[in-house]
A and B are shown apart, each in its own frame.
Chain A
Amino acid sequence: QKEVEQNSGPLSVPEGAIASLNCTYSDRGSQSFFWYRQYSGKSPELIMFIYSNGDKEDGRFTAQLNKASQYVSLLIRDSQPSDSATYLCAVTRGLSGNTPLVFGKGTRLSVIA
């Protein structure tokens, strides 16, 4: 099983709809979870992180974490064409602040106007 798995997409949603992006991870020791957005030809930029079970909201974005199921998701409400990008899920390996993040391959989101 790969360490971090995401559906590659593309995921197409109409403008104004909710986009739901999912990620599963294999390391039960992972402590922190990140969502990065990457526009075509650009480098990834952090949009949210979460480390406690439950939901965390920031504007139109909600991250959800379920450590028992080893599952993390990102909801984007009122999707806009500018949200069209690849979304990368990343998790920490173990407890140390020195360890690298492990990235999924990303889900490509397309918001149709």
Chain B
Amino acid sequence: DVKVTQSSRYLVKRTGEKVFLECVQDMDHENMFWYRQDPGLGLRLIYFSYDVKMKEKGDIPEGYSVSREKKERFSLILESASTNQTSMYLCASRETGLSSYNEQFFGPGTRLTVL
């Protein structure tokens, strides 16, 4: 059974703290993604990676960085958390293929609250 796991379901942090969100997939997928989801704004792409040590900015990368040292793990880092980063964070992975219709699998999400 395919699986994408995230390190925490709920997280509460203080403004200015450095926050690490971890994501692990066991499907040997090349592509991994970080989204945030907010009411009325939908799913917005923060960063993605198509290979180890490779990263690409998504639509809203400001205030975030990522790390992919191993194929199965993709970390999202908030260097200095701010209240406007309170959100649901969703990790996803997808296989690369000649076709573009490979299913994208999501992790369970991390609900981050920044106080």
Contacts and interface: CB of A to CB of B under 8 A. Distances in A.
Given A43-B109, A105-B40, A105-B42, A98 B99 contact: no
Interface in A86-109: 88, 90, 92, 95-106
Interface residues of A, number: 25
Max chain A Cβ within 10 angstroms of own Cβ: one of B30, B45, B58, B106: B106
A43 B106 contact: yes
Contacts, number: 63
A61 interface: no
Interface of A: 31-32, 34, 42-46, 49, 51, 88, 90, 92, 95-106
Contacts of B31: 97-98, 100
Interface residues of B, number: 29
Contacts of A34: 101, 103-104
Nearest to B58: A100
B96 interface: yes
